[in-house]
Structures are given as structure tokens and as C-alpha cells.
Amino acid sequence: MAAYLLRRLIQAALILLGVTFITFVLLYILPADPARQIAGRSATVETVENIRQQLGLDQPLYIQYGRYLEGLLHLDLGRSYLQKTEVATLIAARLPATLLLMVGAIVCELAIGLSMGLFAAMRRGGRIDQSLMVVSFVAVSAPQFVVGILLLYVFAVYLGWFPIGGYGTFSHLVLPSITLGILGAGWYSRMMRSSMIDVLRQDYIRTARAKGLGPTTVMAVHAMPNAILPIVAMIGIDIGYFMSGIVVVESVFGWPGIGQLAWQAIQRVDIPIIMGVTLVSACAIVIGNLVADLIAPLIDPRIKLR
């Protein structure tokens, strides 16, 4: 177990190193000029050149990247070009909001997706099954900004049940979470349905029924843990999808998370922030996958970590 964790952590460090390298190179070859952005439109060529030298942007790629890595070793993510603040401070201020949104989205997709899949599997081939699968198809194919705006219009503007945007209370969390989680819910309902149908065909389900167990026990104790296994592995991968969705959802709902921060930074070519947010996202994905892999053996004793 310790050996397994150590190996996974080494792997994670290598993945993160790769992520920083690729992002750094992409930003380097980008035609946009951060020095020009900082100096403003009216600045002279000398001013721009000055800023460039100050930031070290005139140095070759390997020196710039080397400096960045050196900073990382001291847990220094650099300073924002425009906001003149530590990137770490900026991200730390906004990370809780994003994590809250992600937890909300995971709860949504699991609650909606698993129950839909379960009901569809139990009523396989019937009307409930068919309509649920149509719903899941819509959920999978609807773009997030459309879902977000639609939910805002119906539940915030028209019905007035939830606030239009902002951050602070539970009711602020509901619509953004659903918007972010609905895609996953669509996928999960389909996975859960096919997984459940497969499990219900297994011999051990027949054994459970032969003991005289009722349908609720058979489903909850014997079928669910087996059916949920493939989905646990998916949750880790999901965090990656969330990271891309967060930029859209946070903009639509005015949610003060790192998605908004990233969006602003991209518009202004604020390289340290882009690097920082990318690194944090990559960390989240790596941790999410690791946690999913650690949970799997708790559900299925056949899975051995080595």
C-alpha cells in the first residue's frame, strides 16, 4: 500500500511537470505580447521593452522555464503581471468557491445520474426507461452555457426560486451545480443503467433471491455495490471535465472562482495566472483519480493496489 502510494505520487509529480512544460511552451509561442498588454496601447517602444526586460520575457525559453520551476520548488507561483499580487494568494482566495461548486456538481450528477440509471434498469424496456434515456440524451448533448442560461431564465428570472447570480448562500449554489453536473448526470445514468442491467443478470443476484431476500435488499446490498464500481473510476476523470466547464459556468453565474480568474487572465495574457490555474487544475485531476483508485478496493475486495 505504501509502495503503491509512493509510486503514484512519483507518477503525479512527473505528470505535473509535463503539464507545466507544455503550458509554458504553448504560452511562449503564443503571438500575443504580455509586455504590450501591461504597457497599454499608447506606450512607447522603449517602455514596452523595459517591461519585457523587467519581467525577464526577453530571455530564451529554457531560462524562463528554469526560473519558473525554481519558483515552484519554493512553492512560488509568481506574481500576476497586471494585478501585482502573488498568484498563490489570488488562487487561494478563489479556490474554495470553485471546490464548493465542484462538490455541488458531483453530488448533483451522482444523485440525478445514479437514480435515473437505477430506475431505468429496473423498468428496462418500459416507458419510464425510454423517457429517462431521452432525458439523459438531452443532458449529454446540451451545451453548458445553454443549460445555464435556460435554468437562470426559468428558475431565477421567471419563477424567482433562486438568485440570478452571485455567491454566498446555499440557494446560490443550486443552479450552477446543476449546470455543471448535468452533463455528468447524463453519462452516469447511461452507465448506471447498463451496469445495473448487467449485474442483475449475474448468478449471485439469483442466489440472493433464492435466499428469500426481498427486492429492496437485493438491489441495495447485492446489486448496487457491484453496479457502482465502473462509475467510481469515472468520477476521477470527471474532475477534468469540470475544470473546462467551470470557466463557462462561473462566467454565466458570476461565481467568484478560479474559472473566472482564468478567463480574465487569458484575455489579458497574464501568463503567471494562466500557469497557476492550469497547475492547480492538473493537481485536482491527479488527486481526483488517485482518490477514485483508492476508493475502488474499499467497494471491491478483489481489487488489490500494488
Partner 1 sequence: MTEKSQPADDPVLSVRDLTTEVATPEGRRVVVDRLSFDLAAGETLCIAGESGSGKSMTALSIMRLLPEPMARIASGSIHLAGRDLAALSGREMRRVRGADIAMIFQEPMTSLNPVLSIGHQLTEAIRVHRPMPRGEARALAVKALSAVRIGQPERRLQQYPHELSGGMRQRVMIAMAIAGRPRVLIADEPTTALDVTVQAQILELIRTLQKDFGTAVILITHDMGVVAEMADRVIVMNGGAMVEAGPARQIFHAPAEDYTRMLLAAVPRLGASQTVSDLAPPPASSVPDDTVVKVSDLTVRFDIVGGILRRPVQRVHAVEGISFDVRRGETVALVGESGCGKSTTGKALLNLVPWDGAIVIDGAATAGLGRSAMKPIRRSIQMIFQDPYASLDPRMTVGELVAEPLTIHGLASGSELTDRVAWLFNRVGLSPDQMQRHPHEFSGGQRQRVCIARALSLSPKIIVADESVSALDVSVQARVLALLQELQDELGLSYLFISHDMAVVEQVSHRVAVMYLGQIVEMGSRAQVFGDPRHAYTRRLLEAVLVPDPDRRHGAFPIADSEVPSPIHPVGQAPARLAMTDIGNGHFVAG
Query: What residue ranges bind partner 1 (CB under 8 A)?
Result: 3, 6-7, 202-204, 206-214, 217, 221-222, 225-226, 229, 299-302, 306
* Among the listed residues 128, 142, 41, 101, the one whose alpha carbon sits nearest the alpha carbon of residue 242: 101
Task: Name every residue whose Cβ is closer than 8 Å to that of residue 133 and which is 6 or more positions away in sequence.
Answer: 120, 189, 190, 193
Report CA Rg, the chain: 24
Distance CA 60, CA 79 (A): 20
What is the SS3 assignment for 302?
Answer: coil
Give the residue with the Cβ less far from partner 1, 40 or 301: 301
Q: Is 88 exposed, middle or buried (0-12, 13-18, 19+ CB in 10 A)?
A: middle
Give the residue with the Cβ less far from partner 1, 3 or 73: 3
Nearest approach, Cβ of 229 to partner 1 (angstroms)? 8
For residue 109, give Cα distances in angstroms to 57, 226, 231, 253, 289.
Answer: 43, 19, 11, 19, 17
Nearest approach, Cβ of 202 to partner 1 (angstroms)? 6
Give the residue with the Cβ less far from partner 1, 166 or 225: 225
Nearest approach, Cβ of 19 to partner 1 (angstroms)? 23
Give the residue with the Cβ less far from partner 1, 1 or 146: 1
Nearest approach, Cβ of 234 to partner 1 (angstroms)? 18
What grid cell was written down for 64?
524562463
Nearest approach, Cβ of 137 to partner 1 (angstroms)? 26
Report which DSSP code applies to 159: S
* Contact in structure between 105 and 184 (CB atoms under 8 Å): yes
What grid cell was written down for 47?
517602455
Give the residue with the Cβ less far from partner 1, 57 or 294: 294
Give the residue with the Cβ less far from partner 1, 84 or 302: 302
Nearest approach, Cβ of 201 to partner 1 (angstroms)? 9
